[in-house]
């Protein structure tokens, strides 16, 4: 419930503090007094855009605050708790908007916040219907939303929207996977050819340095044979034998002082014999012909040709093979992912279809009572010839499988048709009002604000409308800007808007005698007479009788 509205330096308002109560509140006043200013100020605190014209002339800032009672709204309390905006009084939510030249700020319970957060918190609390908002009824999306709010569980609507979005996401992933797969197939053919070509070289691609070293060694084989053969000839039996005889002569001298010389001569003999053995083995390892050299030379030539083809060093061919093989494995994995994406999309399709069918069934179940109640209200408003029904057609969207359209028959001699084709401006206003009354009675909306809801409804119809609004106000706080005294007389709280001599807008809550005067003015215009006062008292008495 809206408890209070405080306005400072907004349009023609210098300072204004308005308290609201439960039930039906009416706001009246002469044309041009500034009744719409109150709705504009409330719209601002609910997150509307600030306009320079809304600043009071000569003022640097304007400020609007609204206080809500959220005792019956645990969802709003939880949201405030989650956002660390909960006040000490858990029943209260104080929303404030401050604006200056080119800048505005928003606060919830004194905590600075964004407009998006402000709107998300206040949207479930107040619904403002302006004078021309009945034109929105021509929008089929609005029509579907009104039907859903009347009698469709919100969980079904949310489930359909979520499953629709998941299906879109899955379809996008599958499309991306297929595009990537098409490109990958072309790339994969090339990769398979390149991998097979490199693998055809065997393990040589990983042994380029080793083969190069072997090639260098084999190409020097003859030179090595000559050099090592010469070295071996130097280590002939004469040299080794001479060293052996030297060691024997020194040993026969049998002089302790020659012990070191004997050991060195014996060690030299041993090392020379080992060197001769190593040279003999090395010579035996060198092939007697150049067959191996030709084989290694051919391998290296093939490796270098392949390296030029892949534009890498020959020593990097092994690395290149590993990279190409890894890319080929990734392509195979991507094809698997594409298959998984297709499975996910099929599952999402089934989920969306099931959720949408459940939603469609709920809409069709709700459509009958929805139209019956609207038609009953229209009959009460003196529009008994009007009959409204809901038609469904197939249209797939986040809202399910249905496209909803309200059809009306305003003349029994003619068939029903779309609202924009059948209803005149006044008829459309009454139909919209009937829908507002029916929808608000079933919604969880705490506060419904109607700006001049009596437009197109006069006389007895206004009295009937007033009683409908009063009935609705038993469960929802209803605030109505009206020119109809029949509606104003039924109010639980009557607020009058007026202009001061300085052309400032002020507002006051009327007492009994003041209400008589205001109703008399509304009945007779500026010329208040005893007859108009008497009729005003009659209206108030009838309102008191229920």
374 occurs within a structural domain: no
Domain containing residue 291: 175-337
Task: Say whether both 71 and 2 belong to one domain.
Answer: yes
Residue 33's closest CA among 537, 544, 526? 526
417 occurs within a structural domain: no
What DSSP letter does each residue of 278-337 carry, written as one string? HHHHHHHHS-SSSHHHHHHHHHHHHHHHHHHHHTS-GGGHHHHHHHHHHHHHHHHHHHHH
Question: Confidence band (pLDDT; 50, 70, 90) for 25?
Answer: very high
Query: Domain holding 49: CATH number?
Result: 3.40.50.300
149 occurs within a structural domain: no
Task: Say whether both 181 and 326 belong to one domain.
Answer: yes
State the pLDDT at residue 201. 80
- Does the pLDDT value for residue 537 go beyond 70? yes
Question: Confidence band (pLDDT; 50, 70, 90) for 347?
Answer: very high
Q: For residue range 430-439, what is the model confidence (pLDDT) as tens digits?
A: 777 788 778 7
391 occurs within a structural domain: no
Task: Say whether both 206 and 332 belong to one domain.
Answer: yes
Task: Say whether both 192 and 301 belong to one domain.
Answer: yes
Average predicted confidence (pLDDT) for the chain: 82
Does residue 492 contact residue 473 with C-beta atoms inside 8 Å? yes
Task: Say whether both 332 and 469 belong to one domain.
Answer: no
Instruction: Kindly state the percentage of the chain with pLDDT values over 90.
Output: 19
Task: Say whether both 71 and 212 belong to one domain.
Answer: no
Could you give the number of structural domains in the chain?
2
Alpha helices, DSSP H, located in 125-207: 140-151, 154-199
430 occurs within a structural domain: no
User: If you average pLDDT over residues 372-397, what whole number do you get?
Assistant: 87
14 occurs within a structural domain: yes
Indicate the helix (H) or strand (E) that contains 491.
none
Q: For residue range 86-136, what is the model confidence (pLDDT) as tens digits?
A: 888 888 999 999 988 768 899 999 999 999 999 888 888 887 776 555 556
User: For residues 450 and 134, what is the distance between their CA atoms, to the nearest angstrom?
Assistant: 11
Residue 487's closest CA among 448, 517, 461, 526? 461
The alpha-carbon radius of gyration of the chain (Å, integer) is 48
Does residue 408 contact residue 419 with C-beta atoms inside 8 Å? yes
Task: Say whether both 7 and 98 belong to one domain.
Answer: yes
433 occurs within a structural domain: no
Residue 397's closest CA among 61, 157, 116? 157
299 occurs within a structural domain: yes
- Of 101-105, 349-353, 470-474, the range with the lowest mean pLDDT is 101-105
Angle at which helices 221-234 and 259-285 cross, to 10°: 150
Tokens (6 digits) for 411:
């003349």
Q: For residue range 41-51, what is the model confidence (pLDDT) as tens digits?
A: 888 888 888 87
Three-state SS at 339: helix
Task: Say whether both 85 and 182 belong to one domain.
Answer: no
- Does the pLDDT value for residue 443 go beyond 80? no
How many other CB atoms are found less than 10 A from the CB of residue 166?
17
- Does the pLDDT value for residue 542 go beyond 80? yes
How many other CB atoms are found less than 10 A from the CB of residue 415?
9
Alpha helices, DSSP H, located in 46-126: 74-82, 115-122
């Amino acid at each position: 419930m809206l408890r209070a509205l405080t306005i400072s330096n907004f349009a023609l308002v210098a300072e204004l503090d308005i308290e609201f109560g439960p039930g039906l509140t009416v706001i009246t006043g002469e044309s041009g007094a500034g009744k719409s200013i109150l709705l504009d100020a409330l719209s601002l605190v609910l997150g509307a855009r600030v306009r320079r014209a809304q600043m009071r002339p000569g003022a640097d800032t304007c400020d609007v605050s609204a206080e809500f009672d959220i005792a019956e709204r645990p969802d709003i309390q939880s949201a405030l708790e989650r956002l660390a905006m909960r006040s000490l009084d858990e029943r209260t939510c104080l929303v404030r908007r401050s604006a200056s030249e080119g800048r505005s700020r928003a606060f919830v319970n004194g905590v600075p916040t964004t407009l998006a957060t402000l709107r998300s918190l206040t949207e479930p609390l107040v619904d403002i219907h302006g004078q021309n908002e009945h034109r929105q009824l021509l929008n089929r999306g609005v029509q579907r939303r009104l039907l859903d709010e009347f009698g469709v569980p919100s969980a079904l609507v949310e489930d359909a929207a979520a499953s629709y979005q998941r299906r879109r996401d899955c379809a996008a992933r599958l499309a991306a996977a297929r595009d990537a797969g098409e490109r990958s197939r072309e790339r994969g053919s090339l990769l398979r050819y390149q991998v097979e070509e490199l693998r055809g070289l065997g393990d040589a691609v990983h042994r380029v340095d080793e083969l190069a070293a072997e090639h260098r060694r084999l190409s020097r084989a003859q030179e090595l044979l000559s050099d090592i053969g010469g070295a071996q000839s130097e280590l002939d039996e004469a040299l080794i034998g001479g060293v052996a005889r030297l060691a024997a002569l020194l040993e026969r001298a049998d002089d302790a002082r020659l012990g070191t010389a004997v050991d060195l001569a014996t060690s030299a003999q041993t090392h020379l014999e080992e060197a001769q053995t190593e040279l003999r083995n090395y010579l035996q390892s060198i092939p007697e012909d150049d067959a191996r050299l030709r084989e290694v030379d051919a391998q290296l030539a093939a490796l270098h040709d392949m390296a030029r083809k892949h534009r890498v060093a020959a020593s990097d061919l092994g690395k290149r093979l590993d990279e190409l093989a890894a890319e080929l494995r990734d392509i195979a994995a991507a094809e698997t992912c594409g298959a998984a994406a297709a499975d996910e999309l099929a599952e999402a399709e089934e989920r969306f279809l099931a959720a949408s069918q459940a939603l469609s069934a709920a809409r069709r179940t709700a459509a009958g009572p929805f139209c019956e109640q609207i038609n009953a209200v229209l009959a009460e408003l003196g529009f008994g010839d009007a009959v409204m029904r809901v038609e469904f057609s197939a249209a797939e969207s986040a809202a399910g499988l249905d496209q909803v359209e309200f059809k009306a028959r305003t003349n029994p001699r003619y068939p029903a048709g779309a609202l924009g084709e059948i209803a005149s401006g006044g008829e459309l206003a009454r139909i919209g009002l009937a829908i507002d009354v029916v929808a608000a009675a079933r919604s969880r909306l705490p506060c419904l604000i109607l700006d001049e809801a009596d437009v197109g409804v006069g006389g007895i119809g206004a009295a009937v409308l007033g009683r409908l609004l009063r009935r609705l106000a038993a469960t929802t706080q209803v605030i109505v800007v009206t020119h109809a005294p029949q509606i104003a007389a039924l109010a639980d709280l009557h607020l009058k808007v007026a202009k001061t001599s300085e052309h400032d807008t002020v507002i006051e809550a009327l007492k009994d005698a003041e209400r008589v005067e205001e109703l008399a003015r509304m009945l007779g215009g500026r010329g208040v007479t005893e007859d108009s006062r008497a009729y005003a008292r009659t209206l108030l008495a009838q309102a008191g009788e229920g």
